[in-house]
Amino acid sequence: MRQDLMSVQKAGHAVVKRSGYSEETLAEWSKKSDEEMMDGNKRMWFRMRMAWGQRCSEEGASAPPVPSTTDDPSPTESIYPYYYIYTTQEESLREAALRNRNKDLPEPPLPIAKT
């Protein structure tokens, strides 16, 4: 996994170069990143979602053009609620009770003592 991440960050250099960063800066970042990943004393925890894909037409034909992107969310997309803002304590407590309604489990039985 570590080597895969090292390869991924090096593969991203071409994209970052187009943003105006120099090759020297990228090489320095890459070196520091590799050192950090190879340091066995550090634990790294992360969660990442990625998707790769290539559209294909019929056999031997080129892929259709990729649609242009837009920053405006479409009406069918829902924006993920990263956080909620409650205006009253009652509203907050009501939502907490709703979230926790099926989470109360009975306590486990006591172990049977052998006599």
Residue 39 phi/psi, 5-degree rounding, is -75, 110
Please determine, for residue 83, whether its predicted confidence score (pLDDT) is greater than 70.
yes
Alpha-carbon distance 115 to 96, whole Å? 45
Q: Please give the structure tokens belonging to residue 88.
A: 């009253």
**Which token pair is 7?**
């390869």
User: Cβ distance 37 to 1 under 8 Å?
Assistant: no
Where exactly are the structural domains of the chain?
2-38
- Mean pLDDT over 28-37 rounds to 86
pLDDT band at 85 (very low <50, low <70, confident <90, very high): confident
